[in-house]
Amino acid sequence: MRQLDGISKRAERIRAFLIGQIGKNTTVNDNPISLGYILNEIYAVISEAKALIGGRVIILECEDCQKLIQLYERHGFTLIETLGDEQPRLRTMYIHVTE
């Protein structure tokens, strides 16, 4: 928890922003929209919300696909490892909110 919160070793909760699944219409030929562009739009909205309510972390879920996970990692997200024997269909990732 300290890694996500950054302040308290005993934190039981942190303020976080949850992003729904991000998608891109791949049927559009030469679609100029990139994940970077989508994330920049998301970060702009979250920046406004953070000014009003605070928050330190952005969390998202994505399919358990190594290529997709690596794409998010290239954009600064970190995979949250889960315990258990079952292979999850969705994986949870996070990034710290920056100004």
Cβ–Cβ < 8 Å for 91, 77? no
Spans of all domains in the chain: 2-23+33-96
Check: pTM over 0.85? Answer yes or no. no
d(CA 80, CA 87): 13
| pLDDT tens digit sequence for 36-87 | 999 999 999 999 999 888 888 999 998 898 999 999 999 999 998 877 667 6
Q: How many CB atoms lie within 10 A of CB 19?
A: 18
